[in-house]
Amino acid sequence: MADILNNSQQLGAEKYPRKSEKLIQYGTSGFRTKAEELAHVMYRMGVLAAFRSMQKNAVIGVMITASHNDEPDNGVKLVDPHGEMLEASWEGIATKLANVKNEELKSTMCDILEENKIELGKNAMVYVGRDTRPSSPYLAQAVIDGVESVQGCVTDFGILSTPQLHFFVTCQNTNKAYGEPNEEGYFKKLASAFKALRGESADNGQYQHSLTLDGANGVGALKMKILQEYLGNSLEVSIFSSGDGKLNYQCGADYVKVLQKPPHSMQLEVGQRAASLDGDADRLVYFYLDTQGKFKLLDGDKIATLVAGYLKKLVKESGLNLNMGLVQTAYANGSSTEYINNTLGVEVACVPTGVKYLHHRALDFDIGVYFEANGHGTVIFSPTATDMIKKAASDETLPSDQVATAKRLFLLMDVINQTVGDALSDLLLVETVLHAFGWSLAEWDAAYTDLPNRQMKVSVADRNVIQTTDAERRCVEPPGLQTEIDSIVAKFNKGRSFARPSGTEDVVRVYAEADTQANADQLAHQVALKIYELANGVGTVPSLPN
Ligand code: G16
């Protein structure tokens, strides 16, 4: 054992040394920063993934991506046995291992093994995937070296979307009950359920089966091309930003959501149905131009309400007694929450940012729908719900229309990647619901009108000086900041605003909504200025959005 750890420390120190004293934290979605600062973190996360695999006696995933961040950034996150994000208590372990001095690597590894009762030498298997960033192959090699340094085995899947890796891990750890742990298994499962749900006719009412897709110049564009082969004529997708430009640059779901405009290179016609993926294809937003040529965004809140409304209808028609809940974050538009409560009649829960929190809360329901406003989310069915739907779908004693609806629900479960938010699977889900309702995007959009809103970023010396509570809706640090925010908000009709430190970028994020766009902009700006003043702003003073 000592030999293995000695060698591992030596390789780490020689090939992937920690070169700076800068602290790096396991954040909203793993470690994220400039790619050149990450080699030692990757190596150490390879080691940690192998330890976690030994502890759980299951496959663990490691994804190398910085998702929506700019191309020079990169990141790494670990995927736990059921395809979920790494357990919270291990985030602290990961942060510790990533930050110890080179010469403390061995003793820290020993501590981790001892404290978690892990037997070094047990089989370890780690699945590795990476996005399309130029820095990703080298960083993936660092992870692989880390796993192998403690005698773990690796399956290197090369370029994958983040949700594909989650899917593969789940498939393998369920002995393939969830599907085949490879690309073919993934595409076949999604596409065949989608085609079965679509039936004979690809069009229905106002719904036409052609879609314009912004691939963010990332892995989503590559994978959509493959998915299209499995979809055949059931859905025609024209792909923009398919890899000819820089990743996430003037395109992608984050650009479209935050700036509330179409990707730079896309010329839209009135009514044309368009969607954007993000850099690792786990987020999805839709958009179109209305009859006045005005840009209209259908974000994660709109996707959640569309999907929850449809599922509620199917559950009712199938006669099954299943409860449903919808999980959001503070970024959810106030109008969406009101619509879910008052019109859909579905229970709403609010949790901090990060799919790990949403997923966890969604487990409390028979059917848990969770989406962040940025387009990251999915639907999960409890084992009881899965069982009941499966039984009803083949229960000959039930009326035939109830059986048919249960069959639909059963197929929908296969279109949905329940392991994590998945833009490609979510896209097929949205297309299925629109097809079933025979809706254009305008008809979908008509359910409720978003309150005008604005997001801003503020650079501060240390973003951790902002501490929040109440699912990030209120600041408790620095002292006095929340009182100031409250008095600014009070000046605006329908005003709401909050600030929180990002877990993926070195900024503080500000969200504001109000009765008009001008007021939402003003509100966001005034709160941003207050943060700049009270939380040691650095660089350019935030300016009014234009
Ligand atoms: C990640 C997380 C999301 C989160 C987003 C922004 O998305 O998976 O849950 O909403 O970061 O987080 P923050 O505001 O803390 O920076 P992605 O798509 O970048 O992986």
Q: Is any ligand 1 atom within 6 A of the Cβ of residue 32?
A: no
What is the pLDDT averaged over residues 430-435?
Answer: 98
Q: Which numbered atom of ligand 1 lies nearest the CA of 509?
A: 14
Tokens of 485: 């925010």
526 pLDDT tier (thresholds 50, 70, 90): very high
CA distance 338 to 334: 6
Strand partners, 128: 62, 156
Q: What percent of the chain has pLDDT over 70?
A: 100
Answer for the pair 275, 99: CB distance below 8 angstroms, yes or no. no
Q: Which numbered atom of ligand 1 lies nearest the CA of 65?
A: 20
Among 8, 29, 67, 318, the one annotated catalytic = 67
- The neighbour count for residue 437, using CB atoms within 10 Å, is 18
89-123 as b/e: b if 16+ CB within 10 A = ebbebbbbbbbbebeebbebbeebbeeeebebeee
Catalytic residue list contains 67: yes
Whether residue 1 is predicted with pLDDT greater than 80 in this model: the reply is: no
pLDDT in tens, 133-152: 999 999 999 999 999 999 99
What pLDDT is recorded for position 206?
Answer: 97
What pLDDT is recorded for position 285?
Answer: 98
Would you give the DSSP letter of residue 238?
A: E
What pLDDT is recorded for position 260?
Answer: 94
- For residue 256, CA distances in Å to 70, 208, 276, 312 come to 14, 23, 7, 29
List the domains of the chain with CATH numbers. Answer: 2-159 (3.40.120.10), 186-296 (3.40.120.10), 300-445 (3.40.120.10), 453-534 (3.30.310.50)
Q: Is any ligand 1 atom within 6 A of the Cβ of residue 73?
A: no
Distance of CA 390 to the CA centre of its chain: 28
Q: Tell me the CA end-to-end span of the chain in Å, nearest whole number.
A: 60
pLDDT in tens, 76-124: 999 999 999 999 999 999 999 999 999 999 999 999 999 999 999 899 9
pLDDT in tens, 454-484: 999 999 999 999 999 999 999 999 999 999 9
Q: Where do runs of H (alpha helix) occur along 277-422? A: 300-318, 334-339, 355-362, 383-392, 400-415
pLDDT in tens, 324-368: 999 999 999 999 999 999 999 999 999 999 999 999 999 999 999
∠ CA 184-187-191 to the nearest 5 degrees?
A: 140
Q: Is any ligand 1 atom within 6 A of the Cβ of residue 468?
A: no
Residues 6+ apart with CB under 8 A from 447: 302, 305, 306, 309, 339, 343
Strand partners, 253: none
Q: Among 353, 371, 459, which is best to mutate for testing ligand 1, by the most ligand atoms less than 8 A from CB?
A: 353
What pLDDT is recorded for position 301?
Answer: 98
What is the pLDDT averaged over residues 245-258?
Answer: 97
What pLDDT is recorded for position 545?
Answer: 85
* Ligand 1 atom 14 nearest Cα: 502
CA distance 185 to 169: 12
**Closest listed residue to residue 274, CA positions, set 245, 248, 239:** 239
Answer for the pair 75, 38: CB distance below 8 angstroms, yes or no. yes
* Ligand 1 atom 5 nearest Cα: 354
What is the CA(74)–ligand 1 centre distance, in A?
Answer: 13
Answer for the pair 517, 478: CB distance below 8 angstroms, yes or no. no
What is the CA(60)–ligand 1 centre distance, in A?
Answer: 21
Q: Is any ligand 1 atom within 6 A of the Cβ of residue 28?
A: yes
CA distance 108 to 116: 12
Tokens of 385: 């719900």
What is the CA(445)–ligand 1 centre distance, in A?
Answer: 25
Q: Please, what sign has the CA dihedral across residues 88, 92, 98, 103? A: negative
For the chain, what is the radius of gyration of the CA atoms? Answer: 23
Please provide the size of the chain in residues.
Answer: 546
**Closest listed residue to residue 512, CA positions, set 453, 452, 451:** 453
What pLDDT is recorded for position 291?
Answer: 97
Share the mean pLDDT of the chain.
97
Q: Please, what sign has the CA dihedral across residues 129, 222, 257, 264? A: positive
Answer for the pair 251, 276: CB distance below 8 angstroms, yes or no. yes
What is the CA(120)–ligand 1 centre distance, in A?
Answer: 34
Q: Is any ligand 1 atom within 6 A of the Cβ of residue 372?
A: yes
What pLDDT is recorded for position 121?
Answer: 86
| pTM of the predicted structure, to 2 decimals | 0.97
Q: Is any ligand 1 atom within 6 A of the Cβ of residue 161?
A: no
At 536, give phi and psi (nearest 5°): 60, 60
